[in-house]
Structure 1
Amino acid sequence: MMRIPLMSPVARKQRRVVLVTGAGSGIGRAISLRQAAAGDIVIATDIDLAAAEQTAQLAGAECHAYLLDVRDPDQWQRVTDEVIARFDVPDILVNNAGIALGGAFLDQTVADWEKIMAINVYGIVHGCKIVGSRMVAGGRPGHIVVIVSGAAWTPNRVAPSYSTSKAAALMIAESLRTELAPHNIGVSAVCPGVTRTQLAANATLITGDSASTEEFRANFAQAQSRYSFATPDMVARAVQRAIRYNLAIVPVNFDATLAWVLHRLSPGLMRVFCSIPTMKLAGDAARVAAQRVPASVAFHRDQP
């Protein structure tokens, strides 16, 4: 018998307070716009306040911009306190902020790993602990969304720190889901694959000259356009679906779904598949990174 998903309690609430991190562009902006259009009060946070303010302007009167560096628990506490004082305890938290660091394992430094973990892992930990504890104390239905990635299931030769951070984010979501279920708070991991964002325009070489950076950006943008199967709005719709039906894991597009299926059915085949050189970081861009840019590469903003 096919199981028909039931609408979660928080989805039935008419007007919710939704806090989104990394809302200044890309996926975070799309989520903010969709939630505002649905009638929610949206708290658009970003490390770039001007970008968050632009999102708020696009979304309308019920979207409010806040400066938030997700690495800083004090900023999390300040923003949470201000939101509660002005509006209410957030009903929904969307952990979207993240970065990626490209480069082989032996090329990346410990500092590179610490940087990505501070945002992609501890940024989620801070948000879930600070906002999640207020949700529990409020005693009302709620939902936490973690934007993960198909990379969570993908052994990665070019960005191992990124895949590792996303695997950790996935397990945070799954573990927290079991812990918060008795409190009527759902937790979902939404996992996009390659998504059409401004990622390439913001790519920066950690070590490398400006010419190498521009060459990489051009090649990565071309590959991103060729291999992208999703738009930010597709991810935003997946977030709404995850909240509405309290879904545990939501692969968004073809490549993420393929990675999920291969990982579950045959991890060995997945490792073989990921060892093919042409699969490195969306094909053409990955070959540029591996052959012409041996140093580590940092991708800032809009990275799922």
Structure 2
Amino acid sequence: MANQRGRVVLVTGAGSGIGRAIALRQAAAGDIVLATDIDLGAAEQTAKLADGACHAFTLDVRSPEQWTELTDAVIAEFGVPDILVNNAGIALGGAFLDQTAQDWEKILSINVYGIIHGCKIVGSKMVQRGRPGHIVVIASGAAWTPNRVAPSYSTSKAAALMIAESLRTELAPKNIGVSAICPGATRTQLAANATLIATDGAATEDVRADFMDVQSRYAFATPDMVARAVQYAIRFNLGIVPVNFDATLAWVLHRISPALMRAICSIPTMKMAEGVARVATDRLPANVKFHRD
């Protein structure tokens, strides 16, 4: 399957960022891409940008009913997907005790249950078809980074990673590979769209602007780097793929000494993160960044 062209590839959260980059890369490689997003207009824009076959669909990954309807429609027109990329996700920043039960329900409904619904509904069709396939879960380096700044996000990504690892053991006899891609900080709109619980509630939008600037200037990875990692994982059927220096370093530290990793990650607080972001934005020249435009 890794060498086939014209594979049917379903990508969630394909309206922007990493999802869009994956959709564009797979379309350029000769695959038939189904770009899904809760924002149909964004998915349609991805389809317009694609150099190859790319079709836009609306999908709220939280809804198993929408997953079922979409899967049936896709199978009727294109056949069972050969590759499923579970990319849709959100971020939520704020200390554990400051986050409400509703905050947790929101992030888990997308970052965890969105993956569960997709893997179960599309994955079962792959198994029934009886041909090789591949499922990709976009997790995060946050999966092995316990912290005081975004604990619900790290929890959701750790769950996503374990879903991928568990499903990999179950589907291997069916010739269906499962890979977890774990990017570090990536230059996307994640901060812009995140829910933030700032230490000073009145300054939330100022904090968001600072985080957005830091993400844009200092994140190591680009969405296309993650998309390349997805292609690499599918080609070689890899279980876990850290993307870029920061995620790889965190993975190594977590494997060598979880206690040391916890000690390091216990230092930053939400207030400290806000202060560092403010200094990086206000005091460092705009041309100071970790990448070239």
Question: Do Structure 1 and Structure 2 share a fold, with TM-score over 0.5?
Answer: yes
The residue type paired with residue 179 of structure 1 is E
Among 256, 278, 289, the alignment partner of 1:265 is 256
1:1-304 alignment runs, 5 A limit: 10-60=1-51, 62-205=53-196, 212-277=203-268
Change (3 A) 1:79 1:31: same
Question: TM-score with structure 1 length normalisation?
Answer: 0.87
- Residues 135-160 of structure 1, C-alpha deviations (whole Å, 9 max, x = no match): 00011100000000000000110111
**SS of 2:96 mapped into structure 1:** coil
For residues 55 and 234 of structure 1, what CA distance do their matches in structure 2 show? 17
Name the structure 2 match of 1:294.
Answer: none
C-alpha contact 1:98 1:120 (8 A) present in aligned 2: yes
For residues 98 and 198 of structure 2, what CA distance do their matches in structure 1 show? 11
Name the structure 2 match of 1:295.
Answer: none
How far the C-alpha of 1:211 sits from its partner, in A, is: 6.5
Change (3 A) 1:196 1:151: same
For residues 131 and 45 of structure 2, what CA distance do their matches in structure 1 show? 31
Give the number of the structure with larger relative contact order, counting CA–CA contacts within 8 Å between residues 6 or more apart. Answer: 1
For structure 1, list consecutive stretches of 5 or more residues without a partner in the other structure.
1-9, 289-304
How far the C-alpha of 1:278 sits from its partner, in A, is: 7.5
Give aligned-pair identity as a percent. Answer: 80
What is the root-mean-square deviation in Å for CA atoms of aligned residues?
2.2
Change (3 A) 1:40 1:287: same
How far the C-alpha of 1:198 sits from its partner, in A, is: 1.9
C-alpha contact 2:161 2:180 (8 A) present in aligned 1: yes
Question: TM-score with structure 2 length normalisation?
Answer: 0.90
Pairs aligned (count): 279
